[in-house]
Structure 1
């Protein structure tokens, strides 16, 4: 497995990062273009705050954790300056999208814009020590906690009281965000938050009688027999489990690490397309037709997050099934998503594994999942002086 480390590092530094450095920077108005075609040409100039924050995080993290290259820091600051100037409303909530010049297009209905703004500015504070970046990250994180129980606020279209659900996405993201910005927060808050998100992820959304994590559960944590309640997203489950492994390392909790790997392995078995290969995007728990018409597509982020999870699972536990899954995922992912001709990776395949959209970035795909995964895997699989098995 150690042989993979260099492969992933080279792909990160010689393919993925140069693509975004060369094509995503808006030199005229600031911020980043994310809507890039196969060759890297800009096909739409709208700017999505969650993708802006993610790209700030990526370049700040490379500068801080890999190598202090000035061009990476400059790239991160470039995006942060645009976000600071245009990204928030008067109450500090982050818009979903802006036009190229920075005028708001979509209201701040989506708390994930705030989550990734926090992530980006928190990383930039780590890289530079500039108090302004830390203050923005901390203030935004406080807003997230205030909105935690009603993430969309006045923009929520659900009629209250009939079928209220708890959604998996926020506790999943908080399990990663809480340790990404813990350098800015009181230790007592971080410790409490970590225990809360572990409990929510592993004891509420994960239901051992089914062996599955649900995307939505009733307010009391019980199963909801509805489109939303039956919805399974294998990629979310697997990504969340490597977040749990990271928390397990932080807490020196071997049981949490092993439980997370067990859940991830089951999600892979359940979500793997045994006819065509790859991981399904969505499934219905009872096998009914999902309401998501894209349910059988194979998406980039699902597969690269699964690679991260299996790499961590193998290194932390030594379990052979994690290593076997990593190699199986590596073969499928590199064989189907990587663009040999123009660089970067495709995002969307049909069920048979054929390229469905040949874009390299858009409204949902940016400079985040692929480079983060490559970085995580390269660092995880680096040869270590002593074994890390638990």
Structure 2
């Protein structure tokens, strides 16, 4: 192993500890239970902010997965705290779904069933089961999987529908966030359903689940991966009619490695072979979004021929894994050099050396994007996962 790779692994192990330390010290909500719903860009805790399901599910995953490397009981305790919060307050025992958000006082705020959030709960719960062997965690994960299959799966056209009311009726606004198209089938949700199902399959070897993973990967390959360009298609209606949108470099490079990992977990050899090819092609075309400083741009609007000139934290995290994965598949050191350069960019511009954690990102002129340090969408998942994946992948 090269000196540079050894150094990278050492630095990422340190950074993993730093990320988990930040959340341990700053995000615990002693007053209202669980974790604070928001910490703004100036490190101010917004004590009564609403608490999102995605944030809590990702904290659950990050500390459950992180504990397996750090072996620190304090990390396991925070994973347990996250599990108790998700299972006691976000999991809807009446209708078997998951509240999108709750008030700081633990009462439901937005009760819609956003399938993306259910997927992250499955992802976190199955990871927590690895370290706890708590049957309740596995039981809730399986229940959520069955709810998705019952209500979200499109039996006519395949794929999964985005969102429902609390009692599983159709809902008008399907969007994950304001920037998304209001369409019934999205790449982002399918990516995270298959990620969640694959993680569940690692601890629950159910044949039906395995078949669902295989079908999902086939569906993604058929509709979401544009094999001509190598980029992802993002939005469709229920009949798979595309609504063209931006090129999302972050999702391209995340999907490149994550879908291959899911294919490997599915044990379907044809899919493994196909997704190895997709992983390299998607990494190759993502290079279009790399800046000379090693950072990866956010999005490109092809219709306007316009770059969305921002470099977000999560995109850099996924770039580390996606390009390292391409290096593993090809042996091409150009990909490895991208990883080194991207990590330097992260250290220089994204890491908050003073307070810990990662800034939301920077603009073209290197000024900070003044958005949350912790919040609905700012979670310890992308950056801790980048550290964890490379720690596992870089062999001693």
Q: What is the TM-score normalised by the length of structure 1?
A: 0.86
Alignment partner of 1:155: what SS? coil
- The reply to whether residue 151 of structure 1 matches residue 162 of structure 2 is yes
Aligned equivalent of 2:366, options 333, 353, 358: 353
The verdict on how the C-alpha distance between 1:378 and 1:186 changes in structure 2, with shifts beyond 3 A counting, is: closer
- The reply to whether residue 113 of structure 1 matches residue 117 of structure 2 is yes
Provide the residue aligned with 1:343 in structure 2.
Answer: 356
1:43-62 equivalent positions in 2, closer than 5 A: 43-45=46-48, 46-62=50-66
Q: CA deviation at 1:12?
A: 1.0
Provide the residue aligned with 1:245 in structure 2.
Answer: 260
CA distance in 1, matches of 2:121, 2:347: 30
**5+ unaligned residues in a row in structure 2: which ranges?**
154-159, 165-169, 175-181
Instruction: State how many pairs are aligned.
Output: 367
Alignment partner of 1:36: what SS? coil
- The reply to whether residue 300 of structure 1 matches residue 313 of structure 2 is yes
Aligned equivalent of 2:347, options 326, 329, 334: 334
Q: CA deviation at 1:350?
A: 1.6
Provide the residue aligned with 1:204 in structure 2.
Answer: 223
Provide the residue aligned with 1:387 in structure 2.
Answer: none
Deviating runs (4+, > 6 A) in structure 1? none
1:241-390 equivalent positions in 2, closer than 5 A: 241-250=256-265, 251=267, 253-269=272-288, 271-273=289-291, 278-288=295-305, 295-357=308-370, 359-383=372-396
Q: CA deviation at 1:382?
A: 3.2
Alignment partner of 2:46: what SS? strand
CA RMSD of aligned residues (A): 2.5
Alignment partner of 2:315: what SS? helix
**5+ unaligned residues in a row in structure 1: which ranges?**
384-390
CA distance in 2, matches of 1:164, 1:236: 18
CA distance in 2, matches of 1:249, 1:150: 25
Alignment partner of 2:194: what SS? helix
Q: What is the TM-score normalised by the length of structure 2?
A: 0.84
- The reply to whether residue 17 of structure 1 matches residue 33 of structure 2 is no
- The reply to whether residue 70 of structure 1 matches residue 73 of structure 2 is yes
1:23-172 equivalent positions in 2, closer than 5 A: 23-38=26-41, 40-45=43-48, 46-63=50-67, 65-89=68-92, 90-146=94-150, 147-148=152-153, 149-153=160-164, 154-157=170-173, 166-172=185-191
Cα deviation code 1:221-272 (max 9, x no counterpart) = 45x4xxx413321111211111123135444634522331211220232x33
Moved more, 128-137 or 255-264: 255-264
CA contact (8 A) 1:311 1:381 kept: no
